[in-house]
Amino acid sequence: MSTATEEQITIETARKLGLLPEEFEKIITILGRTPNFTELSIFSVMWSEHCSYKNSITWLKTLPKDGPHMLAKAGEENAGLVAIGDGLACAFKIESHNHPSAIEPYQGAATGVGGINRDIFTMGARPIAQLNSLRFGNPALEKTKWLMRGVVKGIGDYGNAFGIPTVGGEIFFDDCYNVNILVNAMSVGIVKIGETVSATSYGEGNTVFIVGSSTGKDGIHGATFASGDLHEDSHEDLPSVQVGDPFMEKLLLEATLEVIKTGAVIGMQDMGAAGIICSTSEMSAKGKHGMRIHLDKVPTRQANMKGWEILLSESQERMLVVVKKGEEDLVRRVFEKWDLNCTEIGVVTDGDRLHFYMNNELLADIPADDLVLGGGAPIYQREYTEPSYIAKNKAFNIDTIVVPEDLKKVMVHLASHPNIASKRWITSQYDSMVGTINLTTNRPSDAAVVEVRGTKKALALTTDCNPRYVYADPETGCAIAVAEAARNIICAGGNPSAVTNCLNFGNPYNPEVYWQFVHAIKGMSSACLTFETPVTGGNVSFYNQSKNEKGEVPVFPTPTIGMIGIIADKKKIMTLDFKQEGDTLFLLGTARNDINSSEYLYSYCNVKNSPAPFLDLKEEFNVQQLVKNLIAKGLVESAHDVSDGGLFITLLESALPNGLGFKIETDEDLRKDAFLFGESQSRILVSVHAEKLDAFVELVADSELDFINLGEVTSDQVMIDETNYGTVAEFKELYENAIGKLMC
């Protein structure tokens, strides 16, 4: 069987494919013999971290999975699924494409977008919106600029051609991402409840089809590539980066949604990481059946491909479809209509084994369940130790920082810092209006808001994570990521519903990295329980690090949170922009002498070690509920959360859209830098019209939460404590053009 003899396969062969010695021994036990090269390659990709979550699943299982809207729990389907009312459900998920994007940024990012959209429409949902979360190194470096141009163009070109609007996201710069950038892509779709399709296979004799693009050599061992370190020779792994075709994907989308309506489909799954082997094994294991697959029948675009290459290829725009026996012609006609490959490559079998043939030669014989998460894939609990730098963070004393005399210098620094400044250079390359469902294109809001066609509802969508906070304190920092996501949903007029996550960390075998991971999970759990936002699934991406003379250098721990919220009435959307002069400005929540891990402390004061900003989840929840009630009663004109850059940036961002200004007084009991630039959590800026002032104050006073009457909206000046710091127009020039000037 196969092209390699048992004697040629050794522990060294397994090691080169990324398998541990004990894993090689486990494979021999499972098979009752030494695997051949094809079988070993199968185990290497299916037991890679990328596919099996072997180093993370123990802790992932501790995340809350139950909620009032849940239709599919984490791991049950390709993406999360929650009910949104009116007989509709929202399918959504976020995933990483980090290593491919660091090597070939255009295709790496583009295929990340393509892959996450396929996860949505293979469930039967039509994608309606995309978001992304990006992390780059020092923007002054030419390499960073090259990577950023490629990633942004890849996302824009694929999404624009595919016809789904990119409605939101975030971007963050730090030297820790100079080599290993992070590219996380999120997709959101809508489907009628009861019309979803599962990623399963069952029914002896049912037919197995491969549909979509032809198979090439791109992406072979891509899952293994994603489960290892980046290094100076990583460019040699370029063949592991897939190549995308958004026009083909658009055809595949329409054909998929049409073929589901025929009723002939038993199950289907996207061919992402690990290609055919992943789809066949996961679908078979879920349906408790086997498959007999003839790889020589798979349409290829390169001559003389070996069986294992076809099996492991990660060529894009392909799916595996299991069809009811006797109804194959219904399926063929649909794909022929859309001019797509629809090729019968096998059959569902009784039992649990996968048999792969090439020209009638048996290449591999493996039990499906032993390949997959929840079956025989290995599960590890790694050691973890608190990093030494945590003690330095805890030792920070705010009294060592002198309050600057020139506050405007700080304001200019923050308004023009790439972590805070307008991302217009990026977003202008994305089509945010295709499909005409984006309700916040010209009405800025803390979350993106998209219309749910045929209803009065809208969805509020966001991605959030400040990795500097998570580095400072993983538990608090990750809880802040969830809290800020929920706060953004609330400020947009929505009700937080559920979470998907993309967990980007360094090497899990490093006890300090694993400590970051464990404590981030703990913080996520406590926050998700507080806001009743269960985790529907997502992605774990380990090995995000580089090497220098000091050894392995992991990126900041970056647990990106994707959250959706439901807006019951799209007429009640809340935006962040000041509406008119004379409105009163209030800060809801407690202001504190806290500059911990703020952009001000980190990049202006150049202090790299401090704790995470203050967070109390109970206080955070109460502030959010207060704002939710204020919006529901129509008592506020705008709402904008205080986050990166502190209160000053929040005020500036609310002033910019309509060219208005603000006049405020700071709290005499607090340091001016903490009041204006600190990033302590659970604070929301609102503006109130004079006619609603009494009702507003009465409701807020009854809440017993702290609030401050800051001042008022003015024409175009920035006035703080009777000092004029210039016009909003001056700051707009800095804020709007900072990143564009860097990229010139």
Closest CA to 643 of 533, 454, 484: 484
Q: Please state, in angstroms and rounded to a whole number, the distance separating the CA atoms of residues 605 and 614.
A: 19
C-alpha 322/C-alpha 338 separation (Å) is 19
Among this protein's residues, is 519 annotated catalytic? no
The Cα 264–Cα 321 span in angstroms is: 10
The span from the CA of 197 to the CA of 321, in Å, is 10
Instruction: Give the residues of the chain that fall short of pLDDT 70.
Output: 1-7, 219, 221-242, 432-438, 440-442
Of 572, 579, 570, 716, nearest to 638 by C-alpha is 579
The pair of three-digit structure tokens given for residue 244, joined into one six-digit string: 């995308």
Residue 5's pLDDT is: 43
Instruction: Please count the residues of the chain.
Output: 744
| Whether 99 is catalytic | no
What is residue 26's predicted lDDT score, i.e. its pLDDT? 96
What's the rounded Cα separation, in Å, for the pair 502 and 434? Answer: 26
Helix or strand (DSSP H, E) at 655:
helix 646-655
| Predicted local distance difference test score (pLDDT) of residue 662 | 98
Q: Where are the beta strands (DSSP E) in 251-406?
A: 265-270, 290-294, 318-323, 341-349, 353-358, 361-367
Place of tokens 């799209």: 570
Residues 6+ away with beta carbon under 8 Å from 19: 27, 40, 43, 44, 47
Which single residue is written with the structure tokens 């970051």?
A: 516
Catalytic residue among 97, 99, 294, 519: 97
Q: What is the pTM of this model?
A: 0.94
Contact 111, 244 (CB under 8 A): yes
pLDDT of residue 242: 63
Give strand pairing partners of 186. 94, 131
61 three-state secondary structure: coil
Q: Which residue out of 50, 99, 417, 519 is catalytically annotated?
A: 50
Residues 6 or more apart whose CB falls under 8 angstroms from that of 128 comprise: 164, 165, 188, 189, 190, 435, 437, 450
Closest CA to 538 of 90, 82, 92: 92
Residue pair 584/670 in contact (Cβ under 8 Å)? The answer is no
Token digits of residue 677: 């630039």
Q: Is 395 exposed, middle or buried (0-12, 13-18, 19+ CB in 10 A)?
A: exposed
Residue 434 has a pLDDT of 64
Give residue 240's pLDDT.
53
- Residue that has been written with the tokens 């695997």 in this structure: 35
Residue 226: its pLDDT value, please? 45
